Structure 1
Amino acid sequence: MNTLFSLIKSDFIRKRAIYIEDGAQISLIRVMLTDGSSANVIHRLAFACARTKVLSPFALLFQHINRIYNGCSIGTKANFADGLALMHPIGVVINSKVVAGKNITIESGVVIGDEKGLSPSLGDNVFIGAGAKIIGNVTVGNNVKIGANAVVVKDIPDNCTALGIPAIARLNER
């Protein structure tokens, strides 16, 4: 259980850092009450329950609560490292087979989905803009930004921004 609470704490700390980068001085308590924070916590609870056979029925219950309360559907076995930030969970759909690194930021209406039994994997420090879709057996590298409404169907290398339909990766300029 210690791991569960440390993941939730890291999610809140990451979300607060995003607000601070945007110029908002916001307390950790206020972050806990912002849009998407409950979706983070409920997904973390569902994932923790899904890992044990005895508690797996509760994982489905938590997933259902997330769908009703937050308007998002996140697979119970979708595995995100620390620093997950669901900024606006409405319309977010994430497949159970998704594996993601640290510091993933997800805006509203994002779909990270399966195609023919294969799901995406995401590196560290990935931003996914509103309405973006990442579908199938693709790898999204580290330090990647996926623009709003982009449709990713091919691998995106490290340090790129992906824009368009289908998404085209461009190296980030410093």
Structure 2
Amino acid sequence: MLSVLRADLRAKQVLYGGDGPPVSLPRALMADGTLAVLLFRCQSALSGLGLAPLALLPHLLNKWFNGCVIGVHARFGPGFVLIHPIGVVINSSVRGGCNVWLESSVVIGDNRGRSPVLGDDIFIGSGAKVIGGLMVGDGARIGANAVVLKDVPAGALAVGVPAACRPGVNEDR
């Protein structure tokens, strides 16, 4: 769990460093969203050990202190960053790869028992909704307030309501 938390903090350092060098570890620790990710990682560890009822404690703390709800069985790889956790809602059956970055008020939800699977190096903008049994390919970007109801190919940019994809987005976050 500690190695995953270190990867999460390194990703946050890169994010906050922008185009320059990564920011300091203390700044990354004090940044918005760090407590939310820490509580999520605790809940995931407890759930992974078969202690799902105990995992509800960090789940509730996250809800109360950070205003976000992440399902107890949701899983994300190293480098998970909640840029601003307020309003984030993630279904318990969501799976995400490495380096998934989420802005505020993102909803990643279930539709008819099926939830999204997110690849690696994903960015989801503020207010976006990703709903149903779809795939978001590696390196994809989802624009603010987009409503994604269909697969997003690797490297694509999804924008609009409902979201349409523009291929070949190779820009940095």
- Give the structure-2-normalised TM-score: 0.95
Q: 1:139 aligns with which of 130, 135, 138?
A: 135
Q: 1:42 aligns with which of 22, 39, 42?
A: 39
CA contact (8 A) 2:14 2:21 kept: no
Per the alignment, residue 12 of structure 1 pairs with: 9
Q: Distance in 2 between matches of 1:66 and 1:22?
A: 30
Q: Distance in 1 between matches of 2:100 and 2:94?
A: 12
Per the alignment, residue 48 of structure 2 pairs with: 51
Identity of aligned residues (%): 46
Q: Aligned letter for 2:105?
A: G
Q: Provide the aligned length of Structure 1 versus Structure 2.
A: 170
Q: Which runs of 5+ in 2 are unaligned?
A: none
Q: What's the secondary structure of 2:37's corresponding residue?
A: helix
**4+ residue segments displaced more than 4 Å:** 22-25
- Give the structure-1-normalised TM-score: 0.94
Q: Distance in 2 between matches of 1:167 and 1:29?
A: 37
The alignment yields a C-alpha RMSD, in angstroms, of 1.2
Per the alignment, residue 28 of structure 1 pairs with: 25
1:12 is displaced (CA, Å) by 0.3
CA contact (8 A) 2:14 2:22 kept: no
Q: Distance in 1 between matches of 2:124 and 2:132?
A: 16
Deviations 1:125-168 (A, max 9, x none): 00000000000001000000000000000000011000000000
Q: Aligned letter for 2:91?
A: N
Deviations 1:65-107 (A, max 9, x none): 0000000000111110000010000000000100010100000
Per the alignment, residue 171 of structure 1 pairs with: 167
